[in-house]
Amino acid sequence: MNDCKVALAGAVVALVLSLAGVVSFAAASQAAGPDPAKSQTLVFDMVFSPFEFVQVNNVRDPNSPVSLGDETVAHDQLFSNGKLVGDDAITNVVVSVPPDTVAVLTTGVFRLPGGSIAIQAFTGPGPAPKQLAVTGGTGSYANVGGDGTLVEFDQFHGKLTLHLLSLVARGGGS
């Protein structure tokens, strides 16, 4: 049982690290925001912050390293062409535990020059690319939606591609 707990804890750590960085973007010029009439793809490199696990649930299963409601938090750095261009604030909440499949709800905000971009994801442990929903933003990104994919290279580095779509009404409406 102890080996199972260690393996599950390792999988949760890998999931959290991959989601903690849920963003890695690419050119500083991208941070200016999308053209209201077009879609835009942003790609950023990221450096993940150290893993921070918060045991929120006081009712612990001694056979599981996580409990419902436990969280991870992260504050990662976003780079474009080797230059620091932004950061993020990410939380991951455990919503399903063994004997069911471990599942996590991720929410985050990426702070960039000109505004921020908000995301959500429902995922689980493992190295598979994480699929993200872009749920809005502020400033230059005030009317965006879209999707994204996070690919983790290791526990410290990853890359995220965001496909942003303008959600501004067309045809003269404001």
C-alpha span between 14 and 65 (Å, rounded): 13
Return the pLDDT at 98. Answer: 87
Structure tokens at 66: 């996580």
C-alpha span between 131 and 147 (Å, rounded): 7
Residue 31: which domain range?
2-166
Quick check: helix, strand or coil at residue 157? strand
pTM for the full predicted model: 0.77
User: Given a cut of 70, is residue 92 above it in pLDDT?
Assistant: yes
Q: Measured between alpha carbons, how far is residue 126 from residues 8, 9, 80, 121, 161 in Å? A: 10, 11, 26, 14, 19
**pLDDT tens digits along 2-16:** 444 434 444 444 444
The number of distinct structural domains making up the chain is 1
User: Given a cut of 70, is residue 106 above it in pLDDT?
Assistant: yes
**pLDDT tens digits along 118-143:** 999 998 877 789 999 999 999 999 99
**pLDDT tens digits along 28-77:** 344 445 445 578 999 999 999 988 999 999 989 888 889 999 999 999 99
**Between residues 18 and 122, the one the model is more confident about:** 122
CATH number of the domain where residue 25 is located: 2.40.480.10
The DSSP element (H or E) to which 19 belongs, if any, is helix 2-20
